[in-house]
Chain A
């Protein structure tokens, strides 16, 4: 079955760009059945959808983050990536990548990676 793993720096300075990659195994990122998404969870808080991408490159972003978010896909590496620019302490969170089934629910999820924004 599909498995996802996030990777990237755990510490980012304020005003810089957060960059994370999600590696997909157990299936092809080019499958027509799936969309690929990013969700984040600030410490002790709830879940916020960041955005999703299809293997063709079509993207869907949360309006609240759209001006700072870029999600891309690399089918040759079976990976998709997140870039969040101009970060502040409010962007400190566990970032999850997940499969978004037909732009509906999310299943499965990666284990998550904590990104702290601090100087």
Chain B
């Protein structure tokens, strides 16, 4: 199975700053990658699919890029509601697999 590795494990950012999160696949997943946001006590919420397409209702400050094995989620200007854990998921190969997550915390 494909192993998804996210870095860093924790990212400390001040409100209004840019956050850049990385996700690496152990082999190519083309553009078949999704990003999710999870807040404490809540279910994950889809942010991005197809590596770069925002899901319905997701603000434009969230953007995804990359293909193959290297992917990036960028939050252009962090709002208070963006402090959460972010997961990537590949769906190019079976079984679908998730990264270990990056926690974005207030600096």
Taking beta carbons and an 8 Å cutoff, which residues of A are in contact with B? 46-49, 60, 62-63, 96, 98, 101, 103-112
Contact = CB atoms under 8 A, between A and B. Distances in A.
A105 B89 contact: yes
29 contacts: A46-B87, A46-B100, A48-B98, A49-B98, A60-B95, A62-B95, A63-B1, A96-B43, A98-B43, A103-B91, A104-B34, A104-B49, A104-B91, A105-B34, A105-B46, A105-B89, A105-B91, A106-B34, A106-B36, A106-B44, A106-B46, A107-B49, A108-B45, A109-B43, A109-B44, A109-B45, A110-B43, A111-B43, A112-B43
A63 B3 CA distance: 14
Interface size range on B against A: 20 to 34
A104 B32 contact: yes
Nearest to B89: A105
